[in-house]
Amino acid sequence: MRCPFLREAHVQSCQASPFRKQIVRSGHAADDRCGSAAWRDCFAARELTEEHPSAGSCPFHAESLVQYCSSAPVTKFIPWSDQAFSRCGSESHRYCDLYLALARTSAPTPETGEPAPRSDDADGIPVPTWLWFAPSHTWLAVASDGVCHIGVDAFLARTLGGIDRVQFVTTKGLERPAAVLTVRDVDLTVSFPNPVLITGVNGALRADPARLARDPYGLGWLFEGIVRDRASLPSGHTKLTDGLLRGDAATAWMRREGLRLRGLAEAASERIWGARLAADGGLPAPGLIRTLPHEEALRLSHLLLSTATDEERFS
């Protein structure tokens, strides 16, 4: 499905004019000098010569079909052919900043045919049921047209707190998507476990890395890609979803991860201060990584993101 804010229009332009200006065709007769015999009265056309001019319309009159975003503050016409695979013309529009702002939704909602738009709660961590989750705390959304998006889950975003910098390790091609997130003086490499044909990255995160923690399932997405194996989409398994979880299984896993984080934080607390954290049973406070000394922050994040024991962790 394409973006509901995408519009099409016929535009006309004058190739005899020194200034190329595209004007939306209104259909009023008054606008139609270029497309009628009246073009012979046009000063710009008389300045130029054409060997076999048509009597019915100006030879320098050009018309084309364009698309544009009706919600953008400045209208920019894009040739229709260039739009065929763009974000606006595909399911990818659900991750557009403008679309998310106007649709008044923070996280992209699932498409028709996907599981009901429900977001489970794992001890305060949202777990959207239409997303696939990897043990590296990354998520995957696959649309019916094969466009997919990848980001980090709300659990990791909460544990890291504010992100100071995002650097993309992989940007194009068939790769295991990976990015380095910097939190204070700690660099963490997050990677998605399965190869994806990456078509783009969320460049807005370079200027505003905080959006990753603010909206991990929406504006904070990291990678965009395409799945060739469309036959088994959207609900079936593809190689892309090997080893991933979603729905109730993902929620249960997220709860176990909460307990694991609690244990890791308590062990770190004992090493640093010689005492365990007060056991209130909940998750450690948001931004835990920021509060730890460098070595402990590195150790905890490594253990948290380790994918060496995926099978045990997802068994």
Should residue 71 be labelled a site residue for ligand SF4 when binding is judged by CB under 6 A? yes
202 vs 301, beta carbon nearer ligand SF4: 202
Q: How far is the CB of 152 from ligand SF4 (least distance, A)?
A: 23
3 vs 190, beta carbon nearer ligand SF4: 3
Of residues 44, 98, 197, 204, which one binds ligand SF4 by CB under 6 A? 98
Backbone phi, psi, residue 23, to 5°: -120, 130
Place of tokens 């209104």: 26
Q: Which helix (H) or strand (E) holds 14?
A: strand 6-14
96 vs 163, beta carbon nearer ligand SF4: 96
CA separation (Å) from 281 to 148, 255, 289? 36, 12, 19
Q: Is 131 helix (H, G, I), strand (E, B) or coil?
A: coil
CA separation (Å) from 153 to 168, 212, 242? 17, 9, 18
For 157-204, the three-class secondary structure string (H helix, E strand, C coil) is HHHHCCCCEEEECCCCEEECCEEEEEECCEEEEEECCCCEEEEEECCH
38 vs 72, beta carbon nearer ligand SF4: 72
Of residues 93, 211, 246, 262, which one binds ligand SF4 by CB under 6 A? 93
73 vs 274, beta carbon nearer ligand SF4: 73
Give me the amino acid identity at 133.
Answer: F
Which residues touch 4 (CB under 8 Å, ≥6 apart)? none
Q: Is the peptide bond before 234 cis (omega within 30 degrees of 0)?
A: yes
Q: How far is the CB of 151 from ligand SF4 (least distance, A)?
A: 18
Q: Is 312 helix (H, G, I), strand (E, B) or coil?
A: helix
205 vs 304, beta carbon nearer ligand SF4: 205
Q: How far is the CB of 66 from ligand SF4 (least distance, A)?
A: 13
54 vs 81, beta carbon nearer ligand SF4: 81
Whole-number Å distance between alpha carbons of 200 and 167 = 13
Should residue 87 be labelled a site residue for ligand SF4 when binding is judged by CB under 6 A? yes
Only segment of 87-95, 184-192, 227-235, 276-284 that touches ligand SF4 (CB under 6 A): 87-95
Nearest-CA neighbor of 144 among 235, 217, 225, 223? 235
Only segment of 35-43, 65-73, 152-160, 200-208 that touches ligand SF4 (CB under 6 A): 65-73
Q: Is the distance from CB of 94 to CB of 110 less than 8 angstroms?
A: no
Q: How far is the CB of 183 from ligand SF4 (least distance, A)?
A: 30
Should residue 149 be labelled a site residue for ligand SF4 when binding is judged by CB under 6 A? no
Should residue 88 be labelled a site residue for ligand SF4 when binding is judged by CB under 6 A? yes
Of residues 96, 190, 264, 297, which one binds ligand SF4 by CB under 6 A? 96
- Residues of this chain that interact with ligand SF4 (CB under 6 A) are 3, 5-6, 69, 71-72, 87-88, 93, 96, 98-99
